[in-house]
Amino acid sequence: MLDLTGKVILVTGGSRGIGAATVRILAAAGAQVVVHYGQSGTEAQMIAQDLGPDRAVALGADLSQPGAAAQLFREAAAWRGRIDVLVNNAGIAPLVTVDEPAQAWADTWSRTLQVNLMAVADLCREAILHFRERGGGTIVNVASRAAFRGDNPEAMHYAASKGGVIALTRSIARGYARENILAYAVAPGWVRTDMASGYLREHAADIARDIPLGDVAPPEEVANTVAFLASGLARHMTGATLDLNGASYVR
């Protein structure tokens, strides 16, 4: 079992799916966790209540709104006076095609990039400034297999946003390692979450054929990977992206 005792960790999108699994695994390893939520406040509060007030707190923020991410980080840091690890997990994946009206196309791209990239960048900026004052810290960004192999035509904006997350992560690692600020990315393929459940049921056979391992990843595998990166046991891996896709895309 990894020992994260003494670490205060902010997990965005921590109320469901990968985020909820990550919160629970980090807390089980001894961390104190800020559980961010967008719309799933009830779920986030239930997780925080289950873990206990000494182990977790729930904070809401609408990351589609400019400025909300920076405010979230400051509120999270105020809980215990610091943040040691930032986990950028929150993301959206609305669909839009080139055949839809231009305004729908533009709105979907804008909102996706705001939540999946701009909010991530704002949180990373706040983290870097905060970590400088504390002698270092760790950022773990949840990207996607789509950042490398692309996505379906109706999800090009999602792939583009995750490609930006990879470039951002690598740039932070290269730029701030000397200040003991570490940055990693994890790039899952399909993960068995509530958000993906409908698509997974509808396309189960095709997805299984596409994955040599034969099944999609459980969220706990992504969470375990995040916990390992948060532990500080692989400092020289900073800048790396860890893939979790059952060998459906091998770089």
Read off the CATH number of the domain in which 152 is found: 3.40.50.720
Dmax of the chain from CA atoms? 51
Please report whether residue 128 resides in a domain.
yes
pLDDT digits (tens, 9 = 90+) for 77-119: 999 999 999 999 999 999 999 999 999 999 999 999 999 999 9
Global pTM? 0.96
Please report whether residue 93 resides in a domain.
yes
Please report whether residue 220 resides in a domain.
yes
Give the total number of structural domains in the chain. 1
Q: How far apart are CA 12 and CA 72, in angstroms?
A: 9
- Domain limits at 196? 8-243
Please report whether residue 1 resides in a domain.
no
Contact indicator for 66, 114 with CB cutoff of 8 Å: yes
Strands (E), the chain: 8-11, 32-37, 56-60, 85-88, 137-142, 181-188, 241-244
Contact indicator for 200, 207 with CB cutoff of 8 Å: yes
Please report whether residue 250 resides in a domain.
no
User: Does the pLDDT at position 208 exceed 90?
Assistant: no
Q: How far apart are CA 152 and CA 149, in angstroms?
A: 10
> Is 158 an annotated catalytic residue?
yes
Quick one: 231 exposed, middle or buried, by C-beta within 10 A (0-12, 13-18, 19+)?
A: middle
User: Does the pLDDT at position 197 exceed 90?
Assistant: no
Quick one: 224 exposed, middle or buried, by C-beta within 10 A (0-12, 13-18, 19+)?
A: middle
pLDDT digits (tens, 9 = 90+) for 134-165: 999 999 999 999 999 999 999 999 999 999 99
Marked catalytic residue, from 37, 158, 176, 184 = 158
Please report whether residue 52 resides in a domain.
yes
User: Does the pLDDT at position 202 exceed 90?
Assistant: no
